[in-house]
Amino acid sequence: MLEIKNLHVAVDGKEILKGLTLSIGAGEVHAIMGPNGSGKSTLSYTLAGRAGYDITDGSILYKGEDLAAMPPEERAAKGVFLAMQYPVEIPGVTTMTFLKTALNSQRRARGQSDLDAVGVLKLVRAKAKALNVSEEMLKRALNVGFSGGEKKRLETLQMALFEPSLAILDETDSGLDIDALRLVAEGVNALRDPARAMLVITHYQRLLDYIVPDRIHVLAKGRIVAEGGKELALELEAKGYEHIVGQAA
């Protein structure tokens, strides 16, 4: 599904990712753990195609295609979804209008016909309930005045709605209390699918209690320094990053 080879990424001329290699197959859930400043968010933004993240070397293949050559909207239409750490607030655009526009944009790019307002509403309602996203939230301006939990629930709702092939979750646990975390994790787990790959990016082991990964990669100073099964998270929790980062350095 996703093949990252020797990826080097610079932001404002400063190299952040320094030769990252990673491979995720369909149906797999991988986690990337790492301390602050290790390049976790740079990786997620690079995968989603944010401007200003310059690939200076290496490659990203998604379903065999060069992901780096595509604008963000094309990546989305082809099934790449980034659940953001800090979803932006956009006053003046209602959440429902946004969902409809995004969904139909993706459909159009795939050669499918638009869904009408009723069709979108039905689809959204069917998915919103499990994530405790209320009708009232859908009427409000996108993310405006939403609590941290509401924002993350809406990100998860979008993931359920767009049904991506590759879902990247950037610090989905940040700002969530334990109940909100459980709710979001359940939503994510419900989307586990043999055809879908997931990349869970997190600083803390806590999230991985709820979204149990097949494989864990430890990112430090712009490259993967350790890999292992789910038990690696427990080791990191017990001994801290310094232990492993120090070993690899």
Partner 1 sequence: MTALSAIALSEDRRARAAALVQDRGLPHRRIEEWKYSDLRAVLGEAGLSAVVAQYLIRNLPHGMDVWDLSRPDAPAWVTDNFARETGNTMNAASLAVADAGIALRVPAGMAIDDPLKLDFTGAGHVRALLVVEAGASLNLVEGVVAADFRNVGFEIALGEGARLEHVRICPALDGAVLVEEAAVRIAAGATYRGHFTGFGARLSRMELEIALEGTGAQAHLSGVALLDGRHSDITTHVSHLVGDTHSSQLFKHVAAGKGRAVYQGKVTVAKGANGADSSQTAKALLLGDAAEADLKPELEIFADDVKCAHGAAVGDLDAESLFYLRARGIPEAQARRMLLQAFLEDAVAEVGHAESREMARTELLAALEKVA
Contacts with partner 1 by CB under 8 A lie at 48-51, 71-73, 75-77, 82, 84, 87-88, 90-93, 98, 101-103, 105-106, 109, 158, 162
CB 164 within 8 A of CB 81: yes
Least distance (Å) between residue 90 CB and partner 1: 5
> Which conformational region is residue 58 in: left (phi greater than 0), alpha (psi within -120 to 50 degrees), or beta?
left
Least distance (Å) between residue 81 CB and partner 1: 8
Place of tokens 């975390």: 181
- Judged by beta carbon, residue 164 or residue 187, the one nearer partner 1 is 164
Least distance (Å) between residue 230 CB and partner 1: 29
- Judged by beta carbon, residue 77 or residue 124, the one nearer partner 1 is 77
- Judged by beta carbon, residue 7 or residue 77, the one nearer partner 1 is 77
Least distance (Å) between residue 71 CB and partner 1: 7
DSSP letter assigned to residue 155: H
What is the CB-side half-sphere exposure of residue 244 using CA atoms within 13 A? 24
Least distance (Å) between residue 144 CB and partner 1: 10
Q: What is the dihedral of CA 2, 23, 192, 201, to 10 degrees?
A: -100
- Judged by beta carbon, residue 105 or residue 165, the one nearer partner 1 is 105
The H or E element that residue 144 is part of is: none
Q: What is the maximum alpha-carbon separation in the chain? A: 57
CB 102 within 8 A of CB 77: no
- Judged by beta carbon, residue 82 or residue 160, the one nearer partner 1 is 82
Query: Which strands make up the sheet holding 2-11, listed edge to edge?
Result: 14-24, 2-11, 53-62, 65-66
